Amino acid sequence: SDILKLWESALLGKSILVYGANPNLTSSCALGIASLLFPEKFVGNIIPFMSVTDIRFKKMIIDNVHVKNLILGVSNPIALQIENKFDLIFTIGFGQKRDGLNISRSNWESFPTLNNINSSVLRSFFYQNTRKTIKAINICLNDLRNTN
């Protein structure tokens, strides 16, 4: 269910902090989250990896603002001092007990069962759901235009 929450959050433009065991894993995960929206593109900013010595990181510490429309990857535990500026924190590469979202799990009944999941099934699932969501949004917007 974590992957569904990540898809939903990326679709809604929420901010996601990816905390990984190393820069390679972190950046791959950040880019993977953004790619869940295919065929649509992620409309926010993606910083697959940022070091704590990066000037942008220092600016985030100083600014007292909640981040929006950003997927940011970090691998240094010092970077977690900005976690309160993000909607979601996703941890990866530390072992099953620590990996995943820092929120309670939800059940999505339409999600494929674990015994038949592979990359192709996931891609198809998210592609179809993204298309359906965009179609529903467009229908609602057209209905609003027609009523005004």
Q: How far apart are CA 34 and CA 92, in angstroms?
A: 16
Pairing of strands 16-20, 70-74: parallel
Model pLDDT, residue 129: 78
Model pLDDT, residue 117: 64
**Which stretches of the chain drop beneath a pLDDT of 50?**
104-109
Cβ(71)–Cβ(10) below 8 Å = yes
Model pLDDT, residue 103: 54
Per-residue tokens: 41: 């593109």
Please enumerate in sequence order all residues whose Cβ is within 8 A of that of 18, keeping only pairs 6 or more positions apart, or say none: 26, 29, 30, 33, 71, 72, 73, 74, 90, 92
Q: Which helix (H) or strand (E) holds 91?
A: strand 88-92
pLDDT in tens, 104-123: 444 444 555 555 666 777 77
Model pLDDT, residue 74: 94
Model pLDDT, residue 147: 81
Model pLDDT, residue 106: 46
Model pLDDT, residue 104: 43
Pairing of strands 45-47, 16-20: unpaired
Closest CA to 34 of 74, 75, 71: 71
DSSP 7-48: HHHHHTT--EEEEESSHHHHHHHHHHHHHTTTTSPP-SEEES
